[in-house]
Amino acid sequence: MRIGELATRTGVSVRSLRYYEQQGLLDPDRTAAGHRVYTAEHEACVVQIQELFQAGFCSSVIQELLPALTRPDQDASLLDKALVAAQARLESEKRSIETEMAGLRRLRVRLGLAPDTHVTPQDGPHDSLQYTQQLRLIIETDDFDEAVRFYRDVLGMAEQPAFATEGDDRVSILNAGIATIELATPTHVRTIDAIEKAPTTPGPTLRIALEVEDTEAAVSSAREHGAQTLAPATHTPFRTINARVQGPAGWQVTFFQELETLEERATREGFTTDDDRPR
């Protein structure tokens, strides 16, 4: 069928069909003269694309999902990986939007168009350069599989790609909505200590990791308020800039500055979920 007939059969405009092709969502056959020709499979694909758009997915996410959804055998593992990749992309886009919104709020404050609602511990107004974007709780556990089962499989927290090597070096970062929980074996904790050049302490370490816009600025601000630097800003193999300070009540605080998106990171060696990591 030609593009006009496909538009009539699916209720999608010709302009939209051409947009789908531009976005890599639809790949029509061509005649010797270069005219587009569509089959029943193309028609089914257009219906699938429409359903995904109506579900709220953007074209970039649909491009990730479509190959798995249109496979005749509906390969479950391929579909699951596509859904994980789509979720990682959406989480990355959400964080980017939140960062831009925070920038707009700071600009409004500087221009005097909005009150500065951030306060110091003494309840006085101040112009803060640090805006925490993510709280990550690091839980060191000897029974890693049971912890993953409970948080990921029982509580339903989605797992995102995380960096680790092999063997007992295991880590699982689970999305808890507005925060993430990181489950780590003692081996992984020691690995991160070595990467960050931070002192190793006996037994489980109480540590909070905070995503910030500028790690060095965050460390400088913490040091000005009396915090001891445990590890200076360091570029890590998992594409962040990390530093660590000693917080109150025995808790260590890691500041980490993201250098790339989750989508970009998922393509790098060493980044995967625990089930897919070689051991």
**pLDDT at residue 272, rounded to an integer:** 82
- Per residue in 41-71, pLDDT (tens digit) is 899 899 989 888 887 777 887 887 787 776 6
Average pLDDT over residues 136-149: 84
pTM of the model: 0.46
Across residues 181-196, what is the average pLDDT? Answer: 87
The whole-chain average pLDDT of the chain stands at 80
Residue 91 clears pLDDT 60, i.e. is over it: yes
Nearest partner of 252 among 213, 177, 200, 216, judged by Cα? 200
Closest CA to 136 of 193, 197, 177, 97: 177
Per the CB < 8 A criterion, the answer to whether 95 and 136 are in contact is: no
pLDDT digits (tens, 9 = 90+) for 10-43: 999 999 899 899 988 899 998 888 888 999 989 9
Q: Using CA atoms, how far apart are residues 80 and 6, in angstroms rounded to an integer?
A: 30
Domains of the chain: 3-74 (1.10.1660.10), 117-276 (3.10.180.10)
Q: How many residues does the chain have?
A: 279
- What's the whole-number mean pLDDT along residues 170-174? 91
Mean of pLDDT values over 206-224:
84
Residue 6's pLDDT band, with cuts at 50, 70 and 90, is very high
Pairing of strands 179-184, 134-140: parallel
Cα 236 → chain centroid = 17
pLDDT at 113 over 90: no
pLDDT band at 122 (very low <50, low <70, confident <90, very high): very low
Query: What is the structure's pLDDT at 224?
Result: 84
Q: What is the pLDDT of residue 75?
A: 64
Q: How far is CA 53 from CA 24, 56, 83, 106, in A?
A: 15, 5, 15, 34
Per-residue DSSP letter, 35: -
User: What pairs with residue 252 in β-bridges?
Assistant: 207, 246
- C-alpha 73: how far from chain center: 29
